[in-house]
Homo-oligomer: A and B are copies of this chain.
Amino acid sequence: MSNIPKIVILGAGYGGILTALRLQKELNYNEADVTLVNKHDYHYITTHLHMPAAGTDKAENARVSISKLIDEFKIDFVKSTVVQIRTQDKKVILEDGTLSYDYLVIGVGGEPETFGIPGMNEYAMNIRSINSVRLIREHIEYQFARYKREPHRTDYLTFVVGGAGFTGIEFVGELADRVPELCKQFDVDRQLVKIINVEAAPTALPGFDPELVEYAMQVLTKKGVTFRIGTAIKECTPDGVIVGDGEEIRSATVIWAAGVRGNRLVDEAGFETMRGRVKVDETLRAPGHDNIYVIGDNSLMFNPEGRPYPPTAQIAMQQGVTCAHNLVASIRNQPLRKFEFKNKGTVASLGKGEAIGLAFGKTYRGRTAAWLKKLIDLRYLFIIGGIPLVLRKGKFF
């Protein structure tokens, strides 16, 4: 059996799961041993996490058991955490074991980038995983309950969201939808609740058409979100945040949604990295390592204009497809394919029934954009799990 090449995929995020699914489909019997390693026994739909974080949907709807996605007769699954990647030994050290590989796919995902802002790692929460969004949801509900026992603590009802990019905007949209429910449930005056979105850049949602950004901010402001655009968070403290010239916003809840970097695992593995991301070649391989593919938030690629692609689900999925193709090609000694990103469009949700989007060369807003968003979510469920998964998880309609 030792002459069968061993493929190890680290991470079952968008990139890793697509790689695994495509390998499962394209590889012939006994052509390769494929092992998928993931920290949890489920895959999660990161683009949906803003909903369970705000409590407008169950966390359950944002995750899928890996055993429902992959065929465990074809692919081995190991639930473990990667501790170290040893490229010289062709080994991966896990928390509770070791795996050897011939080909490695690194897709362990990013980590929050706090840009060295003091206190951000200690006191802010992130929308990054099932566990982290369950924490946010429970934390928010807890603040309403605490406020009723200490009514002078209006900081319990102030929610600061750092970052008005995709995640920050989608989250404040959901939270603004959830607040009236929470106010009703806990007998809290809606006027006392503040949702403050702080963004250091001169605009929210960079990359979107300014008219759409304007529309998004109007929709969210009407729902009760206060924007502090062009305002940097200088420090996060146990009492809130310090912004701009030293102004304090007192808040018991700070969500940091302003940045993603790569992963210390790839820094530590000795690859040449920029902020934890490996600048891969056109075939998605790490420079100098013909047998190592890096995808998703761990990889860094540049668009034809020379700007780095943002770390999105869409690009990770497309990379997974190319990565699987190239792995199969390598094994069969066939030529590799260059990765080319095809932008299928982008839609940002603004809460129930509201969104903005760019797709098929057009801009969308309002209810149509919200439908488009749902269709994209459904399409993803279909890609990874077919109709049965759409029926099981596609309940957010």
Q: A138 contacts which of B59, B132, B135, B138 (Cβ < 8 Å)?
A: B138
- CB pair B149–A145 under 8 Å, yes or no, is no
CB of A302 within 8 A of chain B? no
A142: interface (CB < 8 Å): yes
Closest to A151 in B: B131
Chain B residues lying within 8 Å of A396, measured Cβ to Cβ, are: none
| Residues A113-138 near B (CB distance < 8 A) | 131-132, 134-135, 137-138
B134 and A186 contacting across the interface, CB-CB below 8 Å? yes
The size of the chain A interface, using a CB distance under 8 A, is: 20
Question: Which A residues between 159 and 207 are near B, CB-CB below 8 angstroms?
Answer: 185-187
By a beta-carbon cutoff of 8 Å, the part of chain A in contact with chain B is 40, 59-60, 131-132, 134-135, 137-139, 141-142, 144-146, 148-149, 185-187
> A138 and B131: CB pair below 8 A?
no
Query: Bound complex: CA of A137 vs CA of B131, how far in Å?
Result: 19
Nearest-neighbor residue (CB-CB) of A42 within chain B: B187
Please give the distance in Å from A390's CB to the nearest CB on chain B.
23
A141 to B144, CA, bound (A): 13
A138 B134 Cβ-Cβ under 8 A: no
CB distance from A128 to the nearest CB of B (A): 11
Across the interface, name the chain B residue whose C-beta is closest to A41: B187
Give A59 to B182 CA distance when docked, in angstroms: 13
Q: A131 touches which one: B131, B134, B149 (CB < 8 A)?
A: B149
